[in-house]
Every structure is written in C-alpha cells, then in structure tokens.
Amino acid sequence: MRYVFHIVDKYGLCPDGIGCECADQDAAVLRARHIATELAKAGELFRASFVLVVPAATPGSTSPH
C-alpha cells in the first residue's frame, strides 16, 4: 500500500506528493521514524517538526482505505 509522509511544523504542512510503497502500517511507521530522525539531524529548523503518515487515496476512492 502507498503511504504519504507529510511534514508538519510551526509554519504549517509540507505535503508529500509522491509517497512510498510500504508492506503495511507498521512498515510505514518505521519509515516515518526514519524520516523524523533524518530531519532532527538537519538542525534546529526541523527539530520541532513531526511526520504525519497517511494512506494514499486510490483513484476513484473517497476513502484512503
């Protein structure tokens, strides 16, 4: 399943327009943790950010599930 990983900080939401294929929700959470770890290494600007994991909507679907 495809998930998108939006980055949220005090300035708002930075949307992920591409996403990533993950085997399941647990794998998506691990990917989000990795992204958050890398953002923290980038310095003070990104330390207050968090990663919002959302299942990507499939074409023709009204629900992301």
pLDDT tens per residue across span 16-64: 999 999 999 999 999 999 998 888 888 766 667 889 999 998 665 554 4
Q: What are phi and psi of 16, to 5 degrees?
A: -95, 110
- Residue 53's pLDDT is what? 95
pLDDT of residue 65: 47
Distance of alpha carbon 41 from alpha carbon 26, whole angstroms? 23
Q: Distance between CA 14 and CA 35 in Å, rounded?
A: 13
Chain centroid to CA 53: 4
10-27 pLDDT, tens digit each = 889 999 999 999 999 999
